[in-house]
Amino acid sequence: MSGRPETERKTDGFDAGAIRRQFAILNREIAWLDNAATTQRPEAVLKAMDQFYRQHNANVRRSVHRLGAEATAAYEGARATVARFVGAAAPEEIVFTAGTTAAVNLATFGFARWEIGPGDEVWVSALEHHSNWVPWQQAVKGVGATLKVIPLTPEGRLDLEVFRKGLAAHRTKWVAVAWVSNVLGAENDVRAICDLAHAAGARVLVDGAQGVAHLQPDVAALGCDFFAFSGHKAYGPMGIGALWGRRELLEQTEPLLYGGEMIARVDDLKSTWAEPPYRFEAGTQNVAGAVGLAAAIEWVRDLPAGAHAYVAELAREAAARLAERPGVRVWGPAEGRVSLVSFSVAGVHAHDVAQVLDGRGVAVRAGHMCAQPLMRRLGIESAVRASFAPYNAPDEIRRLLEGVQAAQELFT
């Protein structure tokens, strides 16, 4: 590859260093290339959470005192921010959860499982994270329903023709699909999947965890029925996320947690639930987390023009350079990478590659990525994943490549 790196040619003027300076944890010699697992938090997010605890800390929706009102306003303001971010029709369509896993489980066991019966089918894609696979396994278990898998094409795309034919039997009730694969790195055609599913009378849940930091979420444009994501993969706190659901579906959804502040009335022998979303938010909520999530969303919205294109270019450049190395296999489609690249090194275990890289100050993910069914379809047990954010620099690709070379020299 000659001339200036592709990353530099297409993203002139973007200042990754200015972004990086907003992250205290990155003020050290570390190349954080594990963003698909968790991004770091900018000062704006840390400040918002600190300010909540220092100035407004109280339980929400309980007290009439001043701090209680301030905390409730902050919490509901965060809900409104999330609603605008995903294109919800109203804030009441947003349920705060502990993250994507909790959101998927709420949609699956609070609503979907009541629609699944003998002879029915649920489809998941071959590239789903365990969080959007295992709950559906359990939902069909014991009710006489079947879990089906949308396969991959040789290019690493979802085979929608097989999916289309599978829907023809009109047995499908639910479809679960990731917006962006956490292993293969490309955006899936969620709109096409939703259109096919709805035409067959099925509903769709989208795992948006890997997409929200890099793509503009719009649940209406995607056409899904439920949408789940986590804050910590989009520069927000750990332990907070959200489930968006169509209002008419949330009204039919049963809560999974019971206790304080999720009820309308409690009698000796029965209780009635509050309206959505409050029926799903029992107990003391992670209010500071919600405030931090809202701050992270605002931070993402304020990113300079070209930030997301810059991240995609880093991923494409890394994939291209890795693919040039003898003995390195890059996984996923050649086009459409959003933010990450997964790869294998012949004769070297993924964990060994990651350890060598860590010794050089480069943090990557290594293992099965919580996607064991996909790994088996690829014919591997594990892989190495480098994932990017606006604070990463093109030079970190060089450090990644040098670390891979060092691992090859050490172990082969």
Q: State the DSSP string of 35-46.
A: TTT-----HHHH
What pLDDT shows up at residue 11? 53
Which of helix, strand or coil describes residue 370?
A: coil
Q: Does domain 47-301 have CATH number 3.50.50.60?
A: no
Which residue among the candidates 82, 175, 370, 383 is catalytic per the annotation?
370
Tracing tokens 């502040």 back to the chain, one arrives at 261
pLDDT at residue 140 greater than cutoff 50: yes
The mean pLDDT value for 24-41 works out to 96
| Distance (Å, whole) CA 218 – CA 202 | 20
| Distance (Å, whole) CA 147 – CA 161 | 18
The vertex-398 CA angle with 25 and 338, nearest 5°, equals: 70
Paired tokens of 229 = 């994501």
- CATH code linked to domain 6-32+305-411: 3.90.1150.10
Contact (Cβ atoms closer than 8 angstroms) between residue 219 and residue 227: yes
Render pLDDT for 224-245 as a digit per residue (tens, 0 to 9): 999 999 999 999 999 999 999 9
What pLDDT shows up at residue 184? 98
Q: State the DSSP string of 224-278.
A: -SEEEEESTTTTS-TT-EEEEE-HHHHTTPPPSS-STTSEEEE-SS-EEEPSTTG
pLDDT at residue 6 greater than cutoff 90: no
Residue type, 360: R
pLDDT at residue 13 greater than cutoff 50: yes
| Residue 370 annotated in active site | yes
Domain definitions of the chain by residue range: 6-32+305-411, 47-301
**If phi over 0 gives left and psi between -120 and 50 gives alpha, with beta otherwise, what is residue 183?**
alpha
What pLDDT shows up at residue 195? 98
Render pLDDT for 355-400 as a digit per residue (tens, 0 to 9): 999 999 999 999 999 999 999 999 999 999 999 999 999 999 999 9
pLDDT at residue 62 greater than cutoff 90: no
| Distance (Å, whole) CA 385 – CA 109 | 32
pLDDT at residue 67 greater than cutoff 70: yes
